[in-house]
Every structure is written in structure tokens, then in C-alpha cells.
Amino acid sequence: MKRIGFVTCVQLGLSCMEAIYDAGGEITLAMTLTDEQAKHKSGRVYIDDFCAKHSVALLKSTHVNNPEVIEAINRYKIDWLFIIGWSQIASKELINSPNEGVLGIHPTLLPQGRGRAAIPWAILKGLDETGVTLFKLDEGVDTGPIVEQISIEMDRKMCATRLYEKVNQAHVELIKKVIPDLLRDNVEMLAQDDTLASEWPGRSPEDGQINLNGSVVDAERLIRAVTHPYPGAFYYNNKGQKVIVWEAEISNECKSGDLEFNDGFLTIIKSDVSE
């Protein structure tokens, strides 16, 4: 039996831990943040009960690259280490600590979309397809060899909320699909073709401002791209108030409360006024 380690502090990671057991695997060592860290992080969970239920050794540390984490990986002779839903960047020493490597999941079809803000960018770019990629970490950013991918079809009405859910489901499906091969030493990896690679930059809440002098098509797409669980698209009304728009649709006729653009009107369905 391969000795699996897991690093996470969010619900998505815990769901993937559960998926490992559903697929016939076991976890030897789990690492998470200390209890007082990232209390307000989206999806923050505590994995103590899961580890106790499955007799998994649990280490809490302020950073994944701390010496005690490296020592634990070596002491428990971890073969594969999963890092899911984790914002700290793994060091070269950590990447080289497990016997066979470190595995991560990126929410695009690598080598497309290396970098940040994968869900908003997939919508903003009007893609017909996106997905998730399980890959072996190296010292680059999302550049390691691909283990497996799952595709997600995009449609004209895809919003961040729905895509976020689909991406999370695909994480779990990917884990269940790969674990049996991982346990049998039957994993084949495919080097990424750098000539096909693209890098997507990070986004800030300020990038969600609607251009009232632009296209209604672009505005509607932006609203879908940064709705929940993201901060939302916004504009300032004639009172100077910040209006966060969570859902809207394009209209050819102007109705009361619509935003007017050069090429159409935007009917706001759900919004909040930020005081």
C-alpha cells in the first residue's frame, strides 16, 4: 500500500481526502494550518475528526515548508503527497521530500491557464471547455507533468457559482479516478507542451468594476465571472453608492432600473448596495 500524505485546510481538500478512502486508499499523514490561522478563509475546515476517525497522523504547522513538515514526511516515509486548496507555495525541499512526488490539482486544462483566477478567466474568455488537471508539482508554476484531466463543458450562461461547483465535483472525481492506479504503481505522466501554454494573471476585487461606457455583452460576462463566491461586479450609481451586481441579463428594451450601454441594456436581477 502506498503511503499517502495530504495537505489542506479547506472543505474541498477534505472532500478529496474522503474520496481517497472511497477509492480504496488510505492516508498516513495529514498536515493543516494551526487552529488560529486563516479563520475567515473561504471554505476553512478543521480535519481533526476525520483524522481521528481514520487513525491518520495529524500535524498542524504555520507553513507547509516548515522543518517539522519535512521531518514528518520523511519519518512516515510518504510516497505521494497531495496538496489541495492551499495558498502557500511549496519549496524545492518539500517537493523532493516524498518518495515519489507531490501532486496538486489546477482548475484548468493545463497547459492552458497556468496561474491565478482560473474560474473567472474561463468565463471572461468565453471558453467552450475548461476542466481540472491533476499534475506532479515541480519548481515552476503549474508546469509539472500531467497525471490526469477531466473536462467541463461551458455554456453561454455559465456563472462562477455553477462553475465553482463543477470544478469542486471534478476534483473529487479526479481523485477517485486516479487513486487505484496510484496504488498499483500504474501512473503514466505526460509532460506539458510549453508551446501550447498560456498564463492567466491574478485578479483583484477592483477588476470587477463594470465599464458603463463599454459593451453590455462584456458587462454581463463580467457579472457572471465574478459572482459568488467571488466579490462581485460593481458600478457606482448617481448617488455615488457602490452597487454590487450578482446576476443580470441583457435586454433589447429599456426597463426601469436598467443600465444603458451603447449596444443594449442590462436588467439587474440581484444586487446589493454597499454603504
**5-52 per-position pLDDT tens digit:** 999 999 999 999 999 999 999 999 999 999 999 988 888 999 999 999
Closest CA to 176 of 2, 15, 23, 14: 23
pLDDT, tens digit (0-9, with 9 covering 90-100), for 208-248:
999 999 999 999 999 999 999 999 999 999 999 999 999 99
Question: How far apart are the C-alpha atoms of 160 and 141, rounded to whole Å?
Answer: 23
Hey, how many other C-beta atoms are within 10 angstroms of the C-beta on 258?
17
The grid coordinates of residue 130 equal 475548461
Q: Are 259 and 249 in contact (CB under 8 A)?
A: no
pLDDT of residue 188: 93
Pick the CATH number of 4-199 from 3.40.50.170, 2.30.42.10, 3.40.718.10, 3.30.499.10: 3.40.50.170
Task: Assign a CATH topology to domain 205-274.
Answer: Methionyl-tRNA Fmet Formyltransferase; Chain A, domain 2 (3.10.25)
Report the share of the chain in percent with pLDDT over 90: 94
pTM of the model: 0.93
Would you list the domain boundaries of the chain? 4-199, 205-274
Give the strands of the sheet with 101-106, arranged side by side. 57-60, 27-32, 4-7, 80-83, 101-106, 129-136, 146-153
Question: How far apart are the C-alpha atoms of 103 and 232, rounded to whole Å?
Answer: 31
pLDDT, tens digit (0-9, with 9 covering 90-100), for 254-275:
888 899 999 999 999 999 998 6
Residue corresponding to grid cell 496561474: 115
Give the strands of the sheet with 264-274, arranged side by side. 233-236, 242-251, 264-274, 259-261
Hey, how many other C-beta atoms are within 10 angstroms of the C-beta on 185?
9
- Evaluate whether 4-199 and 205-274 have a shared fold: no
Question: How far apart are the C-alpha atoms of 169 and 103, rounded to whole Å?
Answer: 18
Question: How far apart are the C-alpha atoms of 19 and 2, rounded to whole Å?
Answer: 16
